[in-house]
Amino acid sequence: MSVYPSIDMLILHKPPMILINEILGEVEEGLVAIARPDSKAWYANEDGSMPAWIGIELMAQSISAWAGLQAYKAGMPPRKGFLIGTREYASKSSSFVAGKPLFIEVRKVFSDPQGLAAFNCLIRDDTTTLAEAVVKVINVDSYEAPMGPSGK
C-alpha cells in the first residue's frame, strides 16, 4: 500500500483519462510515478501497446501529481493547470509495451510566482530510459481568461 494519497486525490482528471497509477517516491523538487499501460485502454494500438506520444501526458500527469501532493501537504485542494508545451520530446521507440511498468520521473527546474514552471522529465522501464523531455506547465486559479487593462 502506498504512503501517498491516491492519484485521483491529487490531479483533477477523472477515469479513463487518469494514466498514471501511483506515486512511488519523492525526489528533490519532484517525484517518481508509475504507469502500467493497459492493452484495453482507449489509447491502445492494435497490438495493445501505448503509443509513445502519450508519454508527454504521462509526464504532465506526474507533474500534476507532484503539484497536487504539495497542495495536499499544505491542506489545500489541487489547482487547475495546463500543459503549455515541450521541447524535444524524444522517445526511443514508437510505443510502450502493455503491462510493462513505466517509471516517470519529474524534477522542477524553474518556476515563477505566476504559476509557470518547467520540469525535466523521463520515462524508463527497469533498465532503460525510454523517453525524455523538458515539459512546461502553468497552474491557474481559474480556467477563465484574465481580463486585460480594458476590462475585456
pLDDT at 87: 81
Region for residue 2 given its phi and psi (left: phi exceeds 0; alpha: psi -120 to 50; beta: otherwise): beta
- Say what the pTM is: 0.91
Full set of structural domains in the chain with CATH: 7-140 (3.10.129.10)
In whole angstroms, what is the distance from residue 5 CA to residue 26 CA?
Answer: 13
Which of 51, 28, 47 has its CA nearest to residue 39? 47
- Give the strand order in the sheet containing 129-140: 22-27, 30-35, 102-111, 116-124, 129-140, 80-91
pLDDT at 139: 86
pLDDT at 1: 60
Q: Are 10 and 68 in contact (CB under 8 A)?
A: yes
Q: Are 111 and 122 in contact (CB under 8 A)?
A: no
Angle, vertex CA 73, rays to CA 20 and CA 110, nearest 5: 70
Burial category of 3 from C-beta neighbours within 10 Å (exposed 0-12, middle 13-18, buried 19 and up): exposed
Which of 83, 95, 99 has its CA nearest to residue 136? 83
pLDDT at 125: 96
Give pLDDT tens digits along the chain (152 positions).
Answer: 679 999 999 999 999 999 999 999 999 999 999 999 999 999 999 999 999 999 999 999 999 999 999 999 999 999 999 999 998 899 999 999 999 999 999 999 999 998 899 999 999 999 999 999 999 999 887 656 555 555 55
Which of 45, 5, 43, 46 has its CA nearest to residue 22? 5
